[in-house]
Amino acid sequence: MPIVDAERLHYEMDIRGLRGADLARMAGIDHNTLSRALARKPVTTRTLMKITSGLLTQPPLRVTMDIVKKPAARFDAKTT
């Protein structure tokens, strides 16, 4: 089961002006389920897709994107 990048999810919520309750409602999931994802607990792929779909229903606020600190980039690919 996937583990959500909580820092990135918080960023995505912030640039959309969403609270946890808002995203949970938009995603059609229980608030406790979203809380688990934000606590870096494994979630089902279906839940991950619902969270993603919920985020896509609310576009980012341009001005917010310019002032909210972006999470550090992470690279999992190994260099050869």
Report angle CA 1, 50, 2 to the nearest 5 degrees. Answer: 15
- pLDDT in the model for residue 75: 54
CA distance 40 to 65: 24
Domains, the chain, ranges and CATH? 6-67 (1.10.260)
Q: What is the pLDDT of residues 14-56, one digit of tens each?
A: 999 999 999 999 999 999 999 999 999 999 999 999 999 999 9
For residues 23 and 64, which has the higher predicted lDDT (pLDDT)? 23
Q: What is the pTM of this model?
A: 0.84
